[in-house]
Chain A
């Protein structure tokens, strides 16, 4: 448990790099160095006097201030002085309020509250003096010792809650209760510091707010506090007390995340993981108390801190609590809260009946008004709920999201609501459709350890009685039973696909069995030893005493090779926690107790060739089918994916670190295509990750001992409620994600040809052709230094590189495959960058960055028609469909300029910002300019046209027109694509991005059936707009009355994709 607490800085909440002590958190150090009042600036080394106080030494430093041990000269006593850094009062009113509060806080005299003596100001820096307490904070206690015993935590928190209640009685809120604000004095008694003070100050600038204040400790703040609206009440402190208790019991705050935003989102929307799941020794009573404090709704928490203290004291005395655990009634209430639609509808129905019964026209009108308001609330609540489910990112939520959207649609939506509903629906529809398939029922008493299912081979092994093993499959072979003599089976550890060999764990030790002959081939008399069969059969690796490993020949039972790591553990009890042989049998990966490293051995000679560090004990390892990647899982629930070298055995590099719930990783498996990784953890079921997007696809409950895929879409087995199951995760029908491996370059341009292929400019040097429907790579364009490329309607690729403009004819090699012919240079030139074609491909514009000029060529693509400029550093060019206008853009002046090609005259220029770009609509009516923001101009008069559909976007990126010029696709907020209707510019739909990287290129297919979005790290997402619209139509959310062109095999797609509203 403490391992999860180590990942975030206890002071600022930022994730800590592996191996870095919280004392040296980079964020805190930089913040302190950046603070002008920090050590180097504010206090000169020689004179450390602050009013009546002589500052002796700095004893602590946090996001809000520095604490000094000081001597109060007038009284000659030792005190602590806290100087609040970087903060000053937002105004006279705030200052007066701070003083008022400080005076109230200073009046608090309580044995468990650190008394404040004086509040003052020194050169505009507020400070206060208080008792000096020798001791440590609860934060450092838990960081070092891990979770506290339940009784100790309850006793401590009861005392703290009593002190908080005392302060509340005196009208003072704390507002920032957290483990680092509670000191333990030398007698182990808690003393609360910082009462009501720190949070009253505003930062001096927006930047400070972002880095200093918001990074405080959102993990302990109440949802109403995080939202920052309205006055806070004692309930906010009750929440923080609950968060504090949670931390004491589990070693971590209730909500954690990689980013601040993730934490804030969880505080506002997510339910905390039950403390008992993180620490099974927590009593039910304490869990009930803790979760009651952490209720999102303030009125559902303890009414005050005193009531909390009372229940904690009851828990210590083992008396019945006032708080009730979530029983059936509470569950029903939670259900109502989570499904407000149904519940409120029921209530409305009741009201309506009442109205009819009353028979009064006035009452009826009032009821109608109330109903309208209620329905409005309900719609919003439903869409909020759909959004929250989407943010959870779990494929299992797909149907739940669609249900909410369907209910909201049934209540009638306005335009804004429709756009929101479409977004949620589209995001849900893009998730894979997950299902489970029962494989077999187990009698309740049957232990899972005694069953072995190999999904891919279609075989099963079961311990059928003492000393007996039943073999089933493959499908056409009869069921057999094997006698194991006197040996009982404790667990089936491994078996070959043909069920010839098995590794069985017996009370006596671990045995290698020849199941065909019913013969024990080899036995290690150590019941805890690990053993694993080689994938190609014939031999196994078996753990021996003192960390030694033996390669055992299965036919003969002879030990071929015995080896041990260079640093064996002296203690015979410790040993290997996981072993995994690479698919080619060349390497063995293993994790040991007592070391946080995974060792890689060469199996030919037993030499250790590499070590992978993980910061925690490695409990599971698995190889990808090609043997190039290795996944390792830790006891704390972390999963690392490593990439091997192109040749040789080392070095290995870390490719991904995947987030999981806490709980030891017990098994890992790659899908055969290497795209997905399944992980079974103790207590947290099975998680499946998409390694392309690095997202978790789903989290299923159940238990998995050894997972395997039998195709890209099916993984198992897992045991859930007595049923052994396989999980199905077919690819999403609506969106496909690709990673343009092996390099992780940004996608800089996407351009469709006349058919279904698209040319992609990937990084500054690579081009490739992809399928325009699903984005799968078709063929690479092997040229060094590609700068821009287009598909010519005559069936060729036009590309610029350092030699000039080249022409590559394309040919259909076979259905679905493209062949690239010989390339020849059409227009030589070393500095040519951007190029553009008109609608028919009869005009070609080429930009020369060095000369700062653009040349227009005719249908032969070699005769010069015109030449215009200058536009210094021009790198991109666009042509109107009739080639009348050319728009140029370059990073030097960050402008977009428009030229009349016939006269070479510059007719329009506008500042565009970094990465300037422009495009003409296919009907020639519009010019879209992107860079800092997306703007639309009408051609000819070059007047800007408002785009109301972007009004709520905080940031816009690249844009692309649909071929019929009736849609404009724009990247909003970096990761999403918004479709706007033209003319008018109203929002229709937001496509939620899947990649962590920013979208940098967009294109719509000629038939508008698909949209390709490319981004950083070589990511490419293909959306099937045609299918999406059919699905949206099923939900009543499509935007045109006319049905979308059904280009192909839709069949009953709508019925399949969309669960119809009830």
Chain B
């Protein structure tokens, strides 16, 4: 392996958010751990919501429970027990949620609406769509959480691509190349006509976007793991979730 190779592989690991959060669990807390955790939670709550829904709670209860879970996690050091052996953010979050829901059941629904500040803004309608989609997708139903997770990763990457394009002044073309789900992709030829480009230029743009898409998938997933080996494992796991539905 060449030096630049090694560098490429280890680069994301100097700053992954999940590492920051894990370190916060130890005695010497990193100052920005809470922010890192909040950022992760903000990004990854749709799969949690989907999981709570699948456990049998209605949309409102599920939103409340998810909200309360994050509140607990962020407010009162829900990560006090975090240790690096706990693995990836995805599996950690699921386990923590399962414990939380069981405890909350015991608490006779104290999380019922009202009284608690919303720390993480939840778009319930969107999350509900995510849940419906994960439930409707082929494959074993206990994978709802993982399916929603994989889809959330792709959605986050799409948002980042759009944001990057915005910064580069190519927002419209990017949005046309990556229509929102359920939208209708315009043929490249028509796009070219619309943007005053040749069809070849549009294809080239799509090709570059696709390359960037791949890079960002790795970057995004890297934020939720602590080691390079875990990154590869996590990527393969997500692939298996979306690909193997038989």
Which residues of A are in contact with B by a Cβ distance under 8 Å? 12, 14-15, 17-21, 23-24, 26-27, 29-34, 36, 38-42, 44-47, 58, 144, 207, 210-211, 215, 258-262, 596, 613, 615, 651, 653-654, 656-657, 743-746, 762-766, 784-785, 787, 802-803, 830-831, 849-850, 891, 974, 996-998, 1016-1017
Contact = CB atoms under 8 A, between A and B. Distances in A.
Contacts of B8: 40-41, 44
Interface in B38-92: 54-58
B136 to A, nearest CB: 7
B166 interface: no
Interface in B180-224: 180-185, 187, 189, 206-207, 209-211, 213-215, 217-218, 221
Given A40-B214, A44-B4, 19 more contacts: A19-B181, A23-B207, A26-B154, A31-B239, A33-B215, A40-B215, A207-B240, A211-B236, A261-B246, A615-B182, A745-B56, A764-B57, A765-B56, A785-B109, A787-B105, A803-B108, A996-B138, A997-B141, A1016-B142
A372 B217 CA distance: 60
B244 A210 contact: yes
Given A18-B182, A746-B141, A29 B55 contact: no
A30 B179 CA distance: 18
A1016 B56 CA distance: 10
Contacts of A262: 246
Interchain residue pairs A-B with the least CB separation, the first 8: A763-B56, A261-B246, A745-B56, A34-B235, A1016-B141, A33-B217, A44-B4, A19-B183
B105 A785 contact: yes
B240 A210 contact: yes
A1017 B140 CA distance: 11
A599 to B, nearest CB: 16
Given A31-B243, A207-B240, A58 B211 contact: yes
B143 to A, nearest CB: 10
Among B57, B109, B141, B239, max chain A CB count under 10 A is at B239
Contacts of A996: 138
B56 A746 contact: yes
Contacts of B57: 763-765
B230 interface: no
A238 to B, nearest CB: 28
Contact of B210 (A18, A29, A743): A29
A30 B238 contact: yes
Contacts of A20: 179, 181, 185
What secondary structure prevails in chain A residues at the interface with B? loop
A802 B141 CA distance: 27
B13 to A, nearest CB: 13
Contact of B178 (A24, A33, A785): A24
Nearest to A657: B136
B242 interface: yes
14 contacts: A19-B181, A23-B207, A26-B150, A30-B239, A33-B221, A34-B235, A47-B2, A654-B132, A743-B56, A762-B56, A830-B106, A849-B106, A1016-B142, A1017-B141
A36 B236 CA distance: 10
A18 B129 CA distance: 14
A87 B98 CA distance: 39
A470 to B, nearest CB: 46
B5 interface: yes
Contacts of A596: 184
Interface string B83-125: 0000000000000001001100111110000000000000001
A475 B89 CA distance: 69
A141 B118 CA distance: 51
A39 B141 contact: no
B28 interface: no
A44 B108 contact: no
Contact of B243 (A27, A744, A746, A785): A27
A989 to B, nearest CB: 24
A23 B206 contact: yes
Among B56, B125, B177, B183, max chain A CB count under 10 A is at B56
A45 B11 CA distance: 14
Contacts of B127: none
A766 B142 CA distance: 19
B180 A19 contact: yes
Interface residues of B, number: 64
A41 B2 CA distance: 11
A575 B141 CA distance: 42
B15 interface: no
B135 interface: yes
Contact of A19 (B182, B187, B215): B182
Contacts of B4: 44-47
B142 A850 contact: no
Nearest to A145: B187
B32 interface: no
B164 interface: no
A30 B106 contact: no
A252 to B, nearest CB: 18
B142 A14 contact: no
B159 interface: no
Among B107, B108, B189, max chain A CB count under 10 A is at B108
A207 B185 contact: no
B213 A830 contact: no
Nearest to A205: B236
Nearest to A19: B183
Given A30-B235, A765-B57, A802-B108, A258 B214 contact: no
A215 B109 CA distance: 46
A784 B218 CA distance: 43
A12 B243 contact: yes
Contact of B239 (A27, A656, A657, A765): A27
Contacts of B101: 764
Contacts of B58: 743
B5 A34 contact: no
Nearest to B187: A144
A763 B55 contact: yes
A198 B239 CA distance: 21
A40 B138 CA distance: 30
B105 A764 contact: yes
A21 B177 contact: yes
Among A14, A26, A58, max chain B CB count under 10 A is at A26
A29 B181 contact: no
Contact of A44 (B2, B132, B232): B2
Nearest to A1017: B141
A215 B213 contact: no
A891 B102 CA distance: 11
A746 B213 contact: no
A425 B109 CA distance: 49
Contacts of A45: 4
B140 A34 contact: no
Nearest to B236: A34
Nearest to A1015: B141
A596 B183 CA distance: 10
A41 B98 CA distance: 36
A541 B102 CA distance: 54
Contacts of A651: 125
A893 B25 CA distance: 24
B246 A39 contact: no
Nearest to B12: A40
B5 A41 contact: yes
Contacts of A766: 56
A262 B181 CA distance: 25
Contact of A33 (B105, B135, B142, B214): B214
Given A19-B184, A44-B5, A34 B238 contact: yes
Given A21-B177, A34-B232, A259 B245 contact: yes
A44 to B, nearest CB: 4
B105 A744 contact: no
B214 A29 contact: yes
Contact of B138 (A259, A654, A762): A259
A30 B150 contact: yes
Contacts of A47: 2, 4
B158 to A, nearest CB: 9
A396 B159 CA distance: 49
